[in-house]
Amino acid sequence: MGELDRSEILLVEDTPSDAEITLRALRKALLTDCVHWVRDGAEALDYTFCAGAYAQRDARHVPRLILLDLHMPRVGGIEVLRHLKANPRTSAIPVVMMTSSDDERDIVESYALGVNGYVVKPVESAVFRDTVLGIGLFWMQLNRVPDRDAGGG
Amino acid sequence: MRINDTWLAWLGYAREEVVGKLRHPDIMTEESAAYFRATAFPMFKRQGWLQDIEFEYRRKDGSSFHASLNATTIRDQDSNYLVSRSTVNDISERKRVEQAILELNARLEESVDRLKEVNEELESFSYSVSHDLRAPLRAIDGFSRMLEEDYGERLDDEGRRLLGVVRDGARKMTQLIEDLLAFSKFSRKALNPVRVDMQALAGGVAAELKAAAPHARFEPGRLPDAYGDPALLRQVWVNLLSNAFKYAGRREAPLVEVGSHSEAGEHVYWVRDNGVGFDPRYVEKLFGVFQRLHGEAEFPGTGVGLAIVRRVVMRHGGRVWAEGALERGATFYFSLPDGGKGNG
């Protein structure tokens, strides 16, 4: 089992500084390095569906949480969300939008597609860190999802 | 066809060129002549008169002018047609003015459209700029925090002070951007007007603010219902009342009052405090974006609150204004059109 297969959180974020702050907060909160960071929606889909650069990844292993940015180059967050929720293999993965956009239309559209949470990134770093911390603790420690890998891996 | 001298002078013909040679439609433009033959003349034959029909006449030199025609039939004792008498008034000047007004109106409408467009562009520009500024700002604040956390012990006092200045600057800029975004949001948000209980709205907001300022006194006057967007009007009360509590806060007995009066189709609401007031020379600046009459250290804020108030009230078709004097308190007024269908 490679390091890629163990990633429990998929972070989809095109701004490197935001990604670094998020990764750091998640590592501190969850005491884990099992976060995989991809830089846009196309890479996120490749990772989740084991395509392209991720063709060798073990398809039985799906992330337990996807943190998804909205506005990204190539394939945006809405399109990624649509693919994830349309596929029975990935539809149960909790997806939380983490975005700078508080545009009502983005929020409405995300929920229409079945998003599990929508968080507007706070600008102030302390609040941002606490926000990431809260998301990590809730979705990774309190929340239960159907156990797809039971006996499988 | 017989003709008088004035008429000849207008047309630029000599009498002998006209009399017995030209018929009425011959001295009109083609379009007017066609209308004369097809419509006006048959009408004249039928009813015996014409009143204020506009034609375009052609002068001998080819230029044209607008005139209005009145014509009556003159008959003999046995009601037989003798002759028709026509009088023509030059209405070129009126036509020219009418045309000028039409053109001016069209230009004005064009300017209004352009202005609207520019305004919308500006708002969406300020929205996206402040939006895009958030990510680098988060980086400044976040990474200086990391520096503090990971390397703080290796910095001396001066190093930590410098880092503190960076983070302080980032915090202020964050506040500015958040406020600018709020301003833009209140400018863009669609209006959903309903009947709004201003008494309850202002009272609720004041109660929240008073909880944080227990020594302040709040005097609610009677406020008539308004017709407007409840979320936006709530923001008007939040901004005006929080200002009032803020600026009265240092008084021994801070007092905030609200009240209203109605005049000429509008309700005027006001918020008064007995706080530090302002220099009336700068009253025009009060409602501008990022305009402040007090130092940041003295009273915190970025100066967007009243700009939001003005924008929201203007979008409701009302006005805002203020009265005050240094150290003598301030009163902020806003008016809303009396859309009160019913008991207002």
Q: Is the dihedral of CA B294, B298, B302, B305 positive or negative?
A: negative
Architecture of the domain defined by B5-90: 2-Layer Sandwich (3.30)
Q: State pLDDT tens for residues A85-110.
A: 999 989 999 999 999 887 888 999 99
Give the pairing of strands A65-68 and A9-12: parallel
CATH topology of domain A3-140: Rossmann fold (3.40.50)
Of A101, A124, A128, the CB nearest to B171: A124
Mean per-residue pLDDT for B43-58? 87
Where residue B147 falls among pLDDT bands split at 50, 70, 90? very high
Closest CA in chain A for residue B131: A100
Contact B139 A17 (CB under 8 A): yes
Cβ-contact B206, B334 below 8 angstroms: no
Mean per-residue pLDDT for B228-245? 93
The reply to whether B194-337 shares the fold of B5-90 is no
**Is A15 near chain B, with CB under 8 Å?**
yes
- Chain A residues with CB-CB distance to B134 below 8 A: 100, 121, 123
d(CA B231, CA A127): 26
Examine the pLDDT at A12 and tell me if it is beyond 80.
yes
Contact A125 B131 (CB under 8 A): no
Mean per-residue pLDDT for B148-172? 90
Mean per-residue pLDDT for A120-147? 87
Contact A21 B138 (CB under 8 A): yes
Domain range summary for chain A, segments of one domain joined by +:
3-140
- Chain A residues with CB-CB distance to B150 below 8 A: none
Q: What does the pLDDT read at residue B127?
A: 73
DSSP secondary structure code for residue A122 in this structure: P
User: Which A-chain residues 77-136 have CB contacts (< 8 A) with chain B?
Assistant: 100-101, 121, 123-126, 128-129
Domain range summary for chain B, segments of one domain joined by +:
5-90, 97-188, 194-337
The CATH superfamily label for domain B194-337 reads Histidine kinase-like ATPase, C-terminal domain (3.30.565.10)
- Of A23-37, B97-111, B115-129, which range is least confident? B115-129
Mean per-residue pLDDT for A66-73? 91
Q: State pLDDT tens for residues B32-43.
A: 899 999 988 888
Architecture of the domain defined by B97-188: Orthogonal Bundle (1.10)
Of A17, A100, A101, the CB nearest to B142: A17
Cβ-contact A64, A139 below 8 angstroms: yes
Q: What DSSP string describes B147-183? A: HHHHHGGGS-HHHHHHHHHHHHHHHHHHHHHHHHHHH
| Mean pLDDT over each residue of chain B, to the nearest integer | 86
d(CA B11, CA B59): 4
